[in-house]
């Protein structure tokens, strides 16, 4: 039988990157005790008011078809949220409601690039980005970042990789997996490169509300960049509701009908009762959201403190997000080898840095998604294994 080339392009770019996590799940189901630090799924409760609204809307019959761009109330709430964040008026007409950040990124990239085009992506990058770009037929171009720069993208490195085929810079700030948060000055310097070469800036901002000591800045909020920028996010992380699959893409007014047409070819409309809940999530402050941000910061500080001072594993405080990315190169193992050894010998499940690009090699990614005492035990096992390997070299 014949198949479209997209299935060949995506081979190995999906669940294969989560092999260590999936093996841990299988062992857990078989009864082995495991500590899971592999998946960025918030363990704290979502806002009660948002859940209440979803239930109320569901029971009141908000289960009919929706319009392709999104429910008007949700679009107004998203536009209001972005307006307050950026200090300028974002119109509901600029917003597309999406089934989460992944769907939003897919819709936007499908609208902007195709075979023959290039998408520039800072490396390390989120594990699904290669598949997102490959699905469009465009070429994925990793832009290296360095641990000694805390994995911040340097504009001169970006510019060195731009070619006449380059169309999009895919940013992620705060970054998964590195925790890097780009400053306003960095966004402007990167934006100058994009202006010179007429590049779109597509920014995955799903962790925008989870920054620690570094303020968040979006290219979509910079006056000179907003006409070439698209902000994509969701309430999956900020409100601990990944299962809602509720997000958005917002960009220039002329972009909205184009991404809406693409979205309608994939998923025509959304669930009105969930859209109502998103409107509540973004229109009010919620103590649960503030608690989530405080808790992730406390856990990151505790994890860094627990691993600090080791010659075998190096770690720095992330600037945002919900991950820490320790450097285990002193052990002599790759991130992949260390993650499997940690699973086999210590019952701790982490993600290998290699799942996030070549610049993640020799690192592991730890999700801040367990209670303090469990995290402390996991850190003890990680440090003990790393120092034993280091001593044996």
The dihedral over CA atoms of 258, 230, 164, 162, expressed in degrees to the nearest 10, equals -160
User: Which class does domain 5-45+287-392 fall in?
Assistant: alpha beta
Strand partners, 290: none
CB atoms within 10 A of CB 293: 17
**Separation of alpha carbons 359 and 349, rounded Å:** 21
Query: For the domain 64-283, what is the CATH code?
Result: 3.40.640.10
Q: Which helix (H) or strand (E) holds 101?
A: helix 100-112
Interacting residues of 226 by C-beta distance below 8 A, sequence separation 6+: 88, 219, 220, 252
- Cα-Cα end-to-end distance for the chain: 52
pLDDT at 213: 87
CA distances to 13, 115, 142, 152, 217 from 157, rounded to whole Å, are: 25, 24, 11, 11, 21
Please tell me the total number of residues recorded for the chain in this structure.
393
pTM score of the predicted model: 0.95
pLDDT at 7: 86
pLDDT at 17: 87
pLDDT at 164: 98
Low-confidence stretches of the chain (pLDDT < 70) are none
Contact 386, 379 (CB under 8 A): no
Contact 158, 143 (CB under 8 A): yes
**Separation of alpha carbons 43 and 23, rounded Å:** 21
Domain ranges of the chain: 5-45+287-392, 64-283
Contact 150, 178 (CB under 8 A): yes
Contact 312, 328 (CB under 8 A): yes
CB atoms within 10 A of CB 282: 22
Contact 353, 333 (CB under 8 A): no
Contact 343, 267 (CB under 8 A): no
The dihedral over CA atoms of 62, 63, 69, 74, expressed in degrees to the nearest 10, equals 30
List the structure tokens of 112.
Answer: 């902007």
């Amino acid at each position: 039988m014949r198949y479209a080339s997209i299935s060949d392009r995506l081979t190995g770019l999906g669940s294969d990157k989560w092999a260590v996590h999936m093996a841990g799940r299988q062992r857990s189901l078989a009864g082995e005790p495991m500590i899971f630090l592999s998946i960025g799924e918030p363990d704290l409760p979502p806002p009660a008011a948002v859940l209440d609204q979803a239930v109320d809307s569901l029971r009141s019959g908000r289960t009919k078809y929706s319009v392709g761009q999104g429910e008007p109330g949700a679009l107004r709430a998203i536009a209001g949220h972005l307006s307050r964040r950026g200090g300028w008026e974002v119109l509901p007409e600029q917003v597309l409601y999406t089934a989460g950040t992944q769907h939003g990124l897919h819709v936007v990239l499908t609208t902007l690039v195709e075979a023959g085009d290039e998408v520039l992506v800072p490396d390390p990058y989120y594990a699904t980005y290669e598949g997102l770009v490959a699905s469009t037929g465009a070429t994925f171009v990793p832009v290296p970042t360095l641990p000694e720069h805390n994995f911040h993208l340097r504009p001169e490195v970006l510019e060195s990789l731009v070619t006449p085929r380059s169309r999009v810079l895919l940013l992620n700030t705060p970054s998964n997996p590195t925790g890097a948060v780009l400053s306003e000055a960095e966004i402007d310097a990167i934006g100058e490169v994009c202006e010179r070469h007429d590049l779109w800036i597509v920014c995955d901002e799903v962790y925008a509300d989870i920054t620690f000591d570094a303020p968040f800045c979006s290219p979509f909020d910079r006056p000179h960049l907003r006409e070439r920028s698209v902000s994509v996010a969701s309430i999956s992380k900020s409100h601990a509701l990944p299962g809602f699959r509720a997000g958005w893409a917002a960009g220039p007014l002329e972009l909205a009908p184009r991404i809406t047409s693409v979205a309608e070819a994939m998923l025509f409309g959304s669930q009105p009762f969930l859209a109502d809940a998103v409107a509540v999530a973004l229109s009010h402050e919620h103590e649960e959201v503030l608690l989530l941000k405080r808790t992730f910061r406390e856990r990151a500080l505790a994890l860094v403190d627990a691993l600090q001072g080791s010659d075998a594993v190096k770690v720095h405080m992330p600037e945002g997000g919900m991950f820490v990315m320790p450097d285990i190169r002193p052990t002599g193992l790759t991130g992949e080898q260390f993650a499997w050894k940690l699973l086999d010998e210590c019952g701790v499940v982490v993600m290998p840095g290699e799942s996030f690009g070549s610049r993640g090699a020799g690192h592991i990614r730890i999700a801040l998604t367990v209670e303090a005492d469990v995290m402390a035990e996991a850190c003890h096992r990680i440090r003990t294994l790393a120092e034993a390997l280091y001593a044996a070299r």
